[in-house]
Amino acid sequence: MVRNLARGVFQYPQPPRIISYASTVGQKEGDGPMGSCFDCVEPDAHFGQETWEQAESVMQRRTVQLALEKSGLRDSDLSCICAGDLMNQCIGSTYGMRPLEIPLLGIYGACSTMAEGLLTASFLAAGGVGEYTAAVTSSHFSTAERQFRFPLSYGGQRPPTAQWTCTGSGAVIFQQPDGVPDGVCVTGACIGIMVDLGVTDANHMGAAMAPAAADTIVRYLKATQTAPEQYDAIVTGDLGIVGSELLCDLVMKQGFDITRNHKDCGAMLYDPETQDTHAGGSGCGCSASLLCGHFLPALQAGTMRQILFAATGALMSPTGHPSRAKASPASPTWWNSHGCTGRKMRDGSAFFVWQKYCLVIREKQHRRGEHGSPGTPPSSLRLATSSMRGGFEKNVYPYSNYRRRYLNMALDLFWAFLVGGALCAVGQVLIDYTKLTPARILTAYVVAGVALSAVGLYPWLVELAGGGASVPLTGFGNLLAEGVRESVDEKGFLGIFMGGLTASSAGITAAMVFGVVCAAVFRPKQK
């Protein structure tokens, strides 16, 4: 049974206990700063299978089996399992759980699926559906990229705000409450609301999901009359580095300071400096693996007493893309699979639905004590869910019009024209008023680009002017310098000779190909 505190906010008078948990991740996640906390690090991204989708099914099934082994239970002991993933029809979960023959509830909350599964499984356990219930979810970098963005072979470039989909899985097993508050348990839950603020950029998920996370966390704190200081950690699923900062600012504006104890799984999972993950990790396996690999063991050991766990997700469907389906007044919402254009559908609805779930977990209590009595309180997990359509722009301001976007585009074009034009003008002055040959001027530009890159000035110029600084000959020099620097770090002395050629090979090849094409089509003349 549950007790309703407010709309969508619940508490368990007799909290269900978490008796076992397990985590499995890929090699990239195992190489990150949290790599030592996971139960299994699989070096083979295919998990011994032929396809990425089959790999994710095997990963999820292994995680459930590992949790069962740790608890001493068998497949037949589970009365129900709540499972989901990021793929269409949750095929990773359905095919993964099929050999286990466990009654299955398929769920989909995108990256929030773990929290949604915990909420559902804890409800079932508290309601007496069976003695043991479970929740599991997973994500795989290769399956998620292929479904929601671009095929891996496309080689699409990721902006700094983009996040890296985690290859990972987490499984949790609940036991029906028996009236004794012992062990790690779920003590409360909050089901969130939809929050639509208009963000349509699939590579800026943190900004889009942060408002929903803030809304849900604040609603739960107000309904339970608790303060952020009462939790050892307020954990979000995958807001990443950008979204985490926005979340703290938004919660602060509503009178709550979570900056001291806020932790984000997406920001914790990778080292952005050495692993090139940009704004951090994402995917439902991100929060699931760290919850089961780091936070639940901390609660079990008593190093943490109580946490609030929140997971966010972007609901994107490839079937609603304008190229595949036509929006009509009869169908009020259609969702874009890419969100690259930033446009809206004909009916005015946004491309994305952003959904959030949040849990609170507390440390374990000895059987001799009762909840609220002196001594160690029970470990608890509280779950809150919320969702949002759209979100915020970079500065967390809703944009109902595009005036600011057009102004930024105009400024980018202005600086590109100004810097690129200035470089060309200097070259023309040298040709007209000096005795330098064109070959020497060309070489000087390339050397200047190398020199400015060496002292760290040219990257700043590229950031300011974009193509106005990267396209000219000075940009070629900067490219050579960066290539040599990276190659020397990797290969040592030989990198001096290899780095420049490797970095510039694509541009040189393109110049040769286009030169041949132009020579074949036109009649070039030497002046």
Mean pLDDT across 312-325:
60
Domains of the chain: 3-316+352-388 (3.40.47.40), 409-521 (no CATH)
pLDDT confidence band for 345 (50 / 70 / 90)? very low
pLDDT confidence band for 344 (50 / 70 / 90)? very low
- Residue 106: the pLDDT is 95
- Residue 470: the pLDDT is 66
pLDDT tens across 227-276, in order? Answer: 999 999 999 999 999 999 999 999 999 999 999 999 999 999 999 889 98
Q: Nearest Cα to 116, choosing from 143, 130, 136?
A: 136
Instruction: Give percent above pLDDT 70 in the chain.
Output: 73
Is residue 244 within 8 A of residue 319, CB to CB? The reply is no
Between 327 and 406, the more confident residue is 406
DSSP E strands in 56-130: the ranges are: 80-84, 104-106
pLDDT confidence band for 45 (50 / 70 / 90)? very high
Judged against a pLDDT cut of 70, whether residue 158 lies above it is answered with: yes
pLDDT tens across 52-81, in order? Answer: 999 999 999 999 999 999 999 999 999 999
pLDDT confidence band for 358 (50 / 70 / 90)? low
- Residue with tokens 């292929």, as numbered in its chain: 146
CA angle 393, 399, 400 (to 5 degrees): 155
- Residue 43: the pLDDT is 95
Judged against a pLDDT cut of 60, whether residue 373 lies above it is answered with: no
Q: Which helix (H) or strand (E) holds 171?
A: strand 168-175
Judged against a pLDDT cut of 60, whether residue 388 lies above it is answered with: no
Is residue 313 within 8 A of residue 208, CB to CB? The reply is no
- Residue with tokens 């901390």, as numbered in its chain: 298
**Cα 394 to Cα 208: distance, rounded to the nearest angstrom:** 9
Most confident of 140-154, 242-256, 301-315, 383-397: 242-256
Largest CA distance in the chain: 96
Mean pLDDT across 21-35:
96
Between 460 and 214, the more confident residue is 214
Task: Tell me the pLDDT of the chain averaged across its residues.
Answer: 78
Helix-helix angle 458-465:438-454, to 10 degrees: 100
pLDDT tens across 139-155, in order? Answer: 999 998 887 776 666 66
- Residue 482: the pLDDT is 73
Helix segments in 78-178, DSSP class H: 91-97, 113-126, 141-148
Residues paired with residue 18 on neighbouring β-strands, in sequence order: 174, 184
pLDDT tens across 456-489, in order? Answer: 777 777 777 776 666 666 776 777 777 777 777 7
pLDDT tens across 429-458, in order? Answer: 888 888 888 778 878 877 887 788 777 777
Judged against a pLDDT cut of 50, whether residue 513 lies above it is answered with: yes
pLDDT confidence band for 507 (50 / 70 / 90)? low
- Residue 318: the pLDDT is 67
Q: Nearest Cα to 250, choosing from 402, 391, 354, 399?
A: 391
- Residue 499: the pLDDT is 63
Judged against a pLDDT cut of 50, whether residue 343 lies above it is answered with: no
User: Lowest-confidence range among 198-207, 355-364, 379-388, 422-431?
Assistant: 379-388
Mean pLDDT across 194-217:
82
